[in-house]
Structure 1
Amino acid sequence: MAAEVLFEARGTLGVIRLNRPGAMNALNLNMVRQMLHQLQEWCDDPGVSQVLVLGAGDRGLCAGGDVRSIYEDIRATRASGRDDYTTTEFFATEFRLNHLISQYPKPYIAFMDGATLGGGIGISAHGRHRVVTERTKAGMPETTIGYFPDVGGTHLLARSPGRAGLHAGLTAGIFGAADTIHLGLADVYVPSGKLAALAEALEQETFDQVKAGFTETPPVAPLRSAQDWIDDAYSAETAEEILERLAAWGATHPDAARAREDILSKSPTALKLTLHGIREASRLELSAALVREYAAGQHQLRGHDFAEGIRAQVIDRDRSPRWDPATLPEVDEMRIEEHFLPGPHPTFELFSPIQEAHS
C-alpha cells in the first residue's frame, strides 16, 4: 500500500503531501501521528528552513477527518459495551498537531487548493502562510454531521470580522478564496496553475522572498457585502433569536433567508455547541480553546447526533438525519456549557511546542 502521508526534503523545504486522494486526503490516526512526528523532527533539522503542506490528487488539500472510520469506531465500541473509543486518541493527536502548527518555529506554508474542510482547516489555517486559489472550497461544515467546529475552529472563527465566524460555523458554509481570506482562515491568493512553480521556488527561497511573484488580488469577498445583516442577526443572544432575525432580514436579503434554512437543517445540539464554543473562544488562547473542544468532542462522540449525522451524510446518504433533541428549545442550555468542561470522559493536555518537539 502507498504511504498515506509522504515526506520529502527538497532543497531547504520540507514537504508534507497528504496521500489519500481517493478519500479526498481525509485524516486518520496514522496520518496525524506521522505528521506530528515529522514536524517535531524538522524543528531541529538545520537543513529544513520551512515546511509546505499540500494534498495529492486534484480534489483538494484535505476534506477533514475520516468520518467513516469514526462512525465505524462508534458502532464497534458501543456494540462491545466498552468506552475505549479509538477516535479519542485521534482527536488528542490531531489537536496536538494543530497546536504545534500554530507555534511552529519555522515558516509553515499550506496550499489550500480545492477542498479544505474541517480537519483540513486545522492543518492549514493555524500556519504562518495560508494560500488559497480559485479552486478553494474551505469551511467548517461540522454542524451538518451533528458536530461543531473543532481543531481550533472555535478560536479561528471567533476572530473573523464581526459575526462572520458565527455565520460560517452555524451554517456549515463552504467558501471560496476571497471569503476564506475575509474570514481570517487564509492570507494570499495564488492561481492554482502557479502552485507547482511556487513550490519549486520555495526549495531555495523563503515564502516572503518569492510571494510577490506569485500572489494576485483575490476577487471581492461576498461576505463583505453581507456584513450588515450578518452582524445584526448573529449578535442575538440565542440560536432561536438568530433565526428570528434572519427571517426578518430574509424579506430583503435572499442570502439571509438561505442562511436561516441552512441552520434549521442542522443538529440543534451542534448549533448550540457551536454558538457557545465560538463565543467563549473569543476570550481564550488557542491552547485553552482546544482543551475545551476536546471535552465537548468526548460528549458528542458518546451522544446521538454525531453518529446520526455521519450516517445520514456519508454512510446511508439519505440526507435525512433524525436529530435528538429534534428542536432548539429542547436542548438543555446548562448541558451545553457543561460539555466544554472536564468531565468523566478522557481528559486532554497540551504541551508547549518545545516540549512537543523534544518529547
Structure 2
Amino acid sequence: MSDVEFSVHDGLGRITLNRPGVLNALNHDMVRAIAARLEHWRVDTGVRAVVIDGAGDRGLCAGGDIRSIYDDARAGGTASPAFWADEYRLNAAIAGYPKPYVALMDGIVMGGGVGVSAHGSHRIVTDRSRVAMPEVGIGFVPDVGGTYLLSRAPGELGTHVVLTAARLTAADAIHCGLADHYVAASRLPDLIDALADHTPDAAAAMVAGPPPPSPLAAEAEWIDHCYAADTVEEILDRLRDGGDAAVAAAKQIDGGSPTALKVTLRALRSAAALPDLAAVLDQEYRISCRALASPDLVEGVRARIVDKDRAPRWSPATLAEVDDAIVDSYFADLGDDERRGADR
C-alpha cells in the first residue's frame, strides 16, 4: 500500500491519503504524487471530477509531516523548503483546477490538510469535522494559503482562528469561507454514490443539509472588537478585559510562540491586501523558510510532539522582546531562493 492511493471509477478520480497511523500527514512524496496525478487527470476525458478523502476514521489530514520538518530543521533545513515549494504549488493547482474538485473534510483537517481541501471547488464538512490552523502553537506560521483564506473571513474571525489555533466546527468552517456544504458523516457514502451520476452541485444538493448554528458566528461582536487592535499586545489587553470567552482566548494566545504570534498577525493583515492566492503563497514561502531557521519551530515541535512536555521555551520569550526588526526579517526577500516556490 502506498501513502496515497489513486483510482478512477464512474468518471471520478479518487485520491485517498493513506497514512491513517499518523492521521494521513502529508510528506513530500505524497505531494508530488498528487500533483502529478492531478496534472494527468486534467486532460483525461475519462475523469470529470476529483474527490479527495483520507483513510481511517479520524480525519482527512492532520497537516504536513511535522516530525520530518523538525528533523530537517535540526539538520540544517535543506529538505523542507523544497517540500513547501511543491506543496504550495499543489495548493495553487487545486485552487485553479479546471474540473470539479470535491474535498471530503471529515474529522480532523489541520494545516496542510486545509491546503489540499479548502482551495477546492466543492468542500464538504460533516458533524465530525474539526478544522484548524494550529501553527502558532509549534512556533510556526499558518501557510498552505491559510492566511489567504482566513484573511477573507467575516470581520476578525480569521484573526481569532489563527492566533488561538481554534478548532472550527463544520458550521464555523462554512461561515469562515473554508467549506461549502454540510453532510452528515453517515451520508458520505450516499454523496459518493450521487457523484457517480450527477454533477457535484446536484449531488451536494441531494445529500447536504443545513448546518447547525456556527458557535463562532455567535461570538462575532466581541471577537471583532478585540481583534481589530493593531498589535498582539493590544489584542490581549482587550481580550483580558472581556468576558469569559475572551479571557479564555487570551489564555490560548499566551501559549503560542511570541515571534510566531506577531509574524502571524502581520502575515494575515498583509494577505488581506495582496491581490490573489499566488501572491499570498509567495509570502508564506518566505515566512516558512525563515521560521525553519528560527529556534521556536524546533522547540515548539519538541514540546508538543517529541517530548510532549507542553512546556516550550520560546526565544524570544515575551512579546515585548519581539521587535519590528525581527518581524520584518520574516518578510524579507530570500535572494537567490526567492522564486524557488513562486513559479507556479
Alignment deviations for residues 299-357 of structure 1 (CA, whole Å, 9 cap, x no partner): 110110011101100000000000000000100213313312322573234345xxxxx
Alignment deviations for residues 240-290 of structure 1 (CA, whole Å, 9 cap, x no partner): 0000000111xxx21111100000110000001110000000011110000
Aligned residue among 305, 318, 327 for 1:327? 318
Alignment of 1:47 with 2:39, yes or no, is no
Q: What residue is the counterpart of 1:157 in the other structure?
A: 150
Matches within 5 A, 1:110-121: 110-121=103-114
Q: What residue is the counterpart of 1:273 in the other structure?
A: 263
Alignment of 1:254 with 2:233, yes or no, is no
Aligned residue among 276, 280, 284 for 1:289? 280
Matches within 5 A, 1:87-166: 87-166=80-159
CA contact (8 A) 1:113 1:132 kept: yes
Alignment TM-score, normalising by the size of structure 1: 0.93
CA contact (8 A) 1:116 1:136 kept: yes
CA contact (8 A) 1:298 1:346 kept: no
CA contact (8 A) 1:179 1:222 kept: yes
Secondary structure in 1 matching 2:16: strand
CA contact (8 A) 1:272 1:336 kept: yes
Q: What residue is the counterpart of 1:71 in the other structure?
A: 70
Q: What residue is the counterpart of 2:18 in the other structure?
A: 19
Matches within 5 A, 1:290-309: 290-309=281-300
Q: What residue is the counterpart of 1:206 in the other structure?
A: 199
Secondary structure in 2 matching 1:288: helix
Alignment deviations for residues 63-90 of structure 1 (CA, whole Å, 9 cap, x no partner): 0001011111122x23xxxx5x111111
- Which amino acid in 1 is paired with 2:281? L
CA distance in 1, matches of 2:325, 2:270: 14
How far 1:202 moved relative to its partner? 1.2
Q: What residue is the counterpart of 2:337 in the other structure?
A: 346
Alignment deviations for residues 81-135 of structure 1 (CA, whole Å, 9 cap, x no partner): xx5x111111011000000001100011100000000000000010111100000
| Displacement over 6 Å in runs of 4+ | none
How far 1:11 moved relative to its partner? 1.1
CA contact (8 A) 2:81 2:289 kept: yes
| 5+ long unaligned stretches in structure 2 | none
Secondary structure in 1 matching 2:179: coil
CA distance in 2, matches of 1:11, 1:129: 18
Alignment TM-score, normalising by the size of structure 2: 0.97
CA distance in 2, matches of 1:343, 1:187: 36
Alignment deviations for residues 151-209 of structure 1 (CA, whole Å, 9 cap, x no partner): 00110110000000000000011111111111111111000011012112212321112
Q: 1:350 to 1:344 in 2, by over 3 A?
A: closer
- Which amino acid in 2 is paired with 1:318? D
Q: What residue is the counterpart of 1:356 in the other structure?
A: none
Secondary structure in 2 matching 1:17: strand
CA contact (8 A) 1:292 1:341 kept: no
| 5+ long unaligned stretches in structure 1 | 353-359
CA distance in 1, matches of 2:153, 2:101: 21
- Which amino acid in 1 is paired with 2:31? V
CA contact (8 A) 1:305 1:323 kept: yes
CA distance in 2, matches of 1:180, 1:321: 29
Between the two proteins, the alignment pairs up a number of residues equal to: 342
Q: CA RMSD in A?
A: 1.1
Secondary structure in 1 matching 2:114: helix
Q: What residue is the counterpart of 1:225 in the other structure?
A: 218
CA distance in 2, matches of 1:93, 1:224: 34
Q: What residue is the counterpart of 1:31 in the other structure?
A: 30
CA contact (8 A) 2:107 2:130 kept: yes
Secondary structure in 1 matching 2:273: coil
Secondary structure in 1 matching 2:60: strand
CA distance in 2, matches of 1:210, 1:185: 19
